[in-house]
Amino acid sequence: MNILRGFNTTFRHALDDAVTVQYPEEERPVRERYKGRHHLRRYENGLEKCIGCALCAAACPADAIWVEAAENTDDERFSPGERYAKTYEINMLRCIFCGYCEDACPTQAIELGHQFRLTFTDRDDSIFDKSMLIDPVPEGGEETPQAVEPGSFDRSIPDMENPR
C-alpha cells in the first residue's frame, strides 16, 4: 500500500512544471529579511554615519569586526561625532550574518544589504576593509574628510534637516 502511495506522489509531481532558475542569467529576488553583504552608510552631506564606538564589534558573537577609532577635528571631519572609524574591518570568513552588528549600531551606520555574491580565492581577500564597505558619496555631498566651521557638530547623530 505504501509503495502505491509513493508512486502516486512521484507521478503527480513528475507532470508539474520545472522550477529551475537559469542562474546567473536569471535571478530570483531575495526576500526582504535577507541579510547579505555589509555596507557602511553615509549622511546626505557625505559624512560617514560610523562614529567609531565599536558597539558592533562588541555585539558580534563571531568576533569578526575590528574597529579602531580616531578623533575628528574641524579641519578633517569624517563623521558628525567626536570620533570616527579610522579602521573598520570585517572578516567575512568569520561572519555568521546574524545582524547583531546592525542592531547594536546607535547611528544605523552598518547595514546588511541584499548582495549575496561573496567570493574570494585568498584568505586576505575575505577581510573587507572600510574602503570596500563604505557607500559612495551621495549626489550633492562631499567626500570625507571635510573642513567645517568650529562648533558646527556637537552631537553624534546630527539633525540633518536643520544643520547649523
CB atoms near residue 153 (< 10 Å): 19
Report if residue 146 sits inside a domain.
no
Position 163 scores a pLDDT of 47
Helices (H), 1-129: 2-14, 55-59, 100-104
Position 159 scores a pLDDT of 62
Report if residue 41 sits inside a domain.
yes
Tell me the percentage of the chain whose pLDDT exceeds 90.
57
Report if residue 3 sits inside a domain.
no
- Domains: count for the chain: 1
Report if residue 126 sits inside a domain.
yes
Q: In CATH, what number is assigned to the domain containing residue 65?
A: 3.30.70.3270
Query: Which domain, by its residues, includes 118?
Result: 31-133
* pLDDT for residue 161 is more than 80: no
Q: Quote the pTM value.
A: 0.78
Report if residue 58 sits inside a domain.
yes
Q: Over the stretch 94-131, which tens digit does the pLDDT of each residue have? A: 999 999 999 999 999 999 999 988 888 999 999 999 99
Q: Over the stretch 50-86, which tens digit does the pLDDT of each residue have? A: 999 999 999 999 999 999 999 998 889 999 888 999 9
Backbone angles phi, psi at 124, to 5 degrees: -65, -30
